[in-house]
Structure 1
Amino acid sequence: MFESLANIPHEELESRFEAVRSHLRDVAPEAGGILIFSRLNIYYFTGTLGQGALWIPLEGNPVLMIRKGVERARLEAGLEPHPFKSYGQIPEVCAEAGSPLTATVGAETAGLTWQLSNLLTAKLSETTFQPADHAVALAKAVKSTWELNIMRKVGQRHHRCLHELIPEVIKPGMSEREISHKAWEVFFANGHQGLMRMQAHGEEAFLGHVAAGNSGNYPSIFNGPLGLRGEHPASPYMGYAGKLWNEGEPLGMDIGFIVEGYHTDKTQTYWAGPASSIPDEVRRAHDFCMEMQQWVADNARPGATPEELYLYCASQAEERGFGDGFMGLGENKVPFIGHGIGLTIDEWPPLAKKFRDPLKPGMVIAVEPKQGIPGVGMVGVENTFEITEDGARCITGDEFDIICVE
């Protein structure tokens, strides 16, 4: 009666199983497999946003267990779903499916609340659990050609919206909230699917940040450099109805784009007025950010480490007088210059200190050098890059300068 809207190819899922198994052997060497609980990672490995659990043994077939939505899972998933009601049924279901739980199990600990994890360990008292989230993060970090093709499409639409279409529908004198609504109209008209996802516990994303003038330095709870007032203290996202974008002010729009579950990240800086009205301080800061983005793109080759990329940019900021505002002013300053991206906005790896695992071809990173200027706002760039043998290739456009709107 019904057909699936889309399916992940079988060979794609098989390669994902093999990748997480390979990483699990290093991350949790005593574990005989991994239990996945979060809906998004169940989707990554099966093709359905299932409520339940997924057992991926090192040897044998994965077992998809669904508590709600079994019929939908039969349409979408690359595995036959097994209905279950209680965590206590997991060993029985896996055994009946021919892939019994092992004595030691790797667990996606971030996929459960403390309450549910206590329930799980009580129900499976004879099973030893080891944290294995990093095996999933490493598997997801390297994108397949199938994933890259989706993300390249997302990036093209993203650039067109922020660089070509939005400048035609915004103008100085609009409030941040009005500008946010125009951005939604443009994004939805070009296929944006609305719901964006964060991996870090408690982080949320709604459209993105729209910050006019010194809103770009407003105290932020979000783990990013661009400040914003937001809608309200209960929803400090998007833009504030009471703040107008005035002549002679920058406007920062840090807005993600999502199609078919995959994100790209991009920030575009606009200026209210002609190019001749941009102060030298603003111009120099933005030029520095573009220069750092290009340096990262040139040097983010396979074998380079995230730490190397971060330390170079941070040292250049200090040496050239941008240290105080680089990557945020005051408490808004963040200790990274970018992050992995894919099914969530904040994936592995962070471009930060102590992250020394080398980059690999197929990784996708968002690079976001930004500069806070006291009393003025924030300028800078962010774009999404695919790691190739020759360096990082931008998939969200090739023009990064300030766009002037009069």
Structure 2
Amino acid sequence: MFEPTRHIPAEELLRRQNAVRAHLQTVAPEAGGILVFSRLNIYYLTGTFGQGVLWLPLEGEPVLMIRKGVNRARLESPLQHIESFKSYSELPAVAAEKGSPFTGTLAAVMSGLTWQLGNMLAAKLKDYTIVSGDHAVALAKMVKSEFELDILRRCGALHHECLYDILPQKMRPGMTEREISHLAWEAFFSKGHMGILRMQAHGEEAFLGHVAAGDSGNYPSAFNGPLGLRGEHPGSALMGNANKVWEKGEPLMLDIGFQLEGYHTDKTQAYFAGSASAIPDEVRKAHEFCMEMQAWMCANAKPGVIVSSLYEHCIEQANARGFAEGFMGLDENQVPFVGHGIGLTIDEFPPIAKGFDLPLEKGMVIALEPKQGVRGVAMVGVENTFEITEDGCRCITGDSYEMVPVE
């Protein structure tokens, strides 16, 4: 007999399921339930990283149907109905047998399916109408419970300790980006990082994060973020490059995520190879502007405040104060956001961007990342993870944001 390594409490899973159900009635009111295919979303709703599909009806018990790993799923999840299946054509019968039959219109989390599998699902369930329910799950995941917040707060504290306290004592100018990447992994693993970073955007990958010395911070990048990097290789454009040395007088940016118990915090720490007094004025002013924008967003990110207003203020200030050219990236690296939601993936809803006009809510967790490219020199700036509380916004990844000198 085996024991599970960890259980998510049944009441926590029920809260999540009911949140999806509530949002589904707005997102897809014609649907009588939702089919969830993404393994990460199945984990969110069941407590097991199942390979298969979850049927979550508006009324009745959820049914988790697994292709492989039924015994593990039964160990980890408190769901009453966990069954095996081989073909999508079996799904309606399995659900009906457990007392939760499919309804005529089904929502589906379509981002959890490839085009091939989506077409196969539609063919196997041709008697049903299938509509998109992705937004219902995204909105549910956006607001965290106290159970989730506890993990995220612990994650953030460890994250800050690694980047602010441990790494400056271990790295030095003259090291390559790759050497610094390996030191970062050593520090992160020593503090409990669980070894994987997850992203939900199709095709995006993350491994440790970005290590960018000097003008590597402006190197052309296909990653959907403002910080450029050379990376290991065109086939793995992440971490740091073995041929790029962190030279004296250069800034260094470590944009690295921490993962604890499945949840992520995001943080970027800027360093300078030399004394604080040697930081060039252009670099210092750019970094101070980013710290100021982060401080303003934190001071104003309260329940009820519209998400897009944070982005709009930063863009107005960058335009008015001569930082427009490199704010949130230079040239093609420039991105149209200043932050993002975060949780079981690094890139959760909502983006802190134009057009996202929903209000902030207590329990949201967001990463704010104002960054500034200095042409021919580096990118500088900050990123930290913040919890929206009843009274305002609180940073959970430390309280020191200045550029750290390393000599």
Deviation at 1:78, TM superposition (A): 1.9
Aligned partner of 2:75 in structure 1 is 75
Deviation at 1:120, TM superposition (A): 0.5
- The answer to whether the aligner puts 1:365 opposite 2:371 as a matched pair is no
| Aligned equivalents of 2:355, 2:121: Cα separation in 1 | 33
| Aligned equivalents of 2:38, 2:199: Cα separation in 1 | 12
Aligned partner of 1:188 in structure 2 is 189
Aligned partner of 1:271 in structure 2 is 272
| Aligned equivalents of 2:388, 2:186: Cα separation in 1 | 32
Deviates more, 1:72-81 or 1:226-235: 72-81
Deviation at 1:305, TM superposition (A): 1.3
- The answer to whether the aligner puts 1:125 opposite 2:137 as a matched pair is no
Aligned partner of 1:31 in structure 2 is 31
- The answer to whether the aligner puts 1:226 opposite 2:203 as a matched pair is no
What amino acid is the match of 1:21?
R
What amino acid is the match of 1:256?
G
Aligned partner of 1:52 in structure 2 is 52
Aligned partner of 2:111 in structure 1 is 110
Q: Deviations over 1:243-284 (max 9, x none)?
A: 000000000000000010000000000000001110111111
- The answer to whether the aligner puts 1:256 opposite 2:271 as a matched pair is no
| Aligned equivalents of 1:78, 1:329: Cα separation in 2 | 49
Aligned partner of 1:11 in structure 2 is 11
Deviation at 1:81, TM superposition (A): 1.2
Q: Map 1:146-161; keep pairs closer than 5 Å.
A: 146-161=147-162
| Aligned equivalents of 2:36, 2:98: Cα separation in 1 | 17
| Aligned equivalents of 2:196, 2:153: Cα separation in 1 | 19
Aligned partner of 2:41 in structure 1 is 41
What amino acid is the match of 1:272?
A
Deviation at 1:50, TM superposition (A): 0.2
Deviation at 1:390, TM superposition (A): 2.1
Q: 3-state DSSP class of the match of 2:351? A: coil
Aligned partner of 1:179 in structure 2 is 180
| Aligned equivalents of 2:296, 2:252: Cα separation in 1 | 24
What amino acid is the match of 1:31?
A
Q: 3-state DSSP class of the match of 1:303? A: coil
Deviation at 1:126, TM superposition (A): 0.3
Corresponding pairs, count? 406
| Aligned equivalents of 1:60, 1:258: Cα separation in 2 | 34
| Aligned equivalents of 2:55, 2:71: Cα separation in 1 | 19
Aligned partner of 2:202 in structure 1 is 201
Deviation at 1:200, TM superposition (A): 0.3
| Aligned equivalents of 1:206, 1:125: Cα separation in 2 | 40
TM-score, length-normalised on structure 2? 0.99
What amino acid is the match of 2:37?
F
| Aligned equivalents of 1:389, 1:13: Cα separation in 2 | 23
Aligned partner of 1:142 in structure 2 is 143
| Aligned equivalents of 2:250, 2:136: Cα separation in 1 | 45
Q: Identity over the aligned pairs, expressed in percent?
A: 67
Deviation at 1:75, TM superposition (A): 0.5
Q: 3-state DSSP class of the match of 1:324? A: coil
- The answer to whether the aligner puts 1:94 opposite 2:95 as a matched pair is yes
Aligned partner of 1:344 in structure 2 is 345
| Aligned equivalents of 1:391, 1:217: Cα separation in 2 | 34
Q: Map 1:278-317; keep pairs closer than 5 Å.
A: 278-317=279-318
* Structure 1 residue ranges, 4+ long, deviating more than 4 angstroms after superposition: none
Deviates more, 1:16-25 or 1:71-80: 71-80
Aligned partner of 1:65 in structure 2 is 65
Consecutive unaligned residues of structure 1, counting only runs of 5 or more, are none
| Aligned equivalents of 1:342, 1:203: Cα separation in 2 | 16
Aligned partner of 2:166 in structure 1 is 165
Q: Please report the RMSD computed on the Cα atoms of aligned residues, expressed in angstroms.
A: 0.5
Aligned partner of 1:236 in structure 2 is 237
| Aligned equivalents of 1:78, 1:33: Cα separation in 2 | 20
TM-score, length-normalised on structure 1? 1.00
What amino acid is the match of 1:151?
L
Q: Deviations over 1:275-299 (max 9, x none)?
A: 1110111111101100100100011
Deviation at 1:391, TM superposition (A): 1.7
What amino acid is the match of 2:392?
G
Q: 3-state DSSP class of the match of 2:353? A: coil
Deviation at 1:138, TM superposition (A): 0.1
| Aligned equivalents of 1:287, 1:390: Cα separation in 2 | 26
Q: 3-state DSSP class of the match of 2:249? A: coil
Q: Deviations over 1:202-239 (max 9, x none)?
A: 00001000000000000001000000000000100000
| Aligned equivalents of 1:78, 1:90: Cα separation in 2 | 20
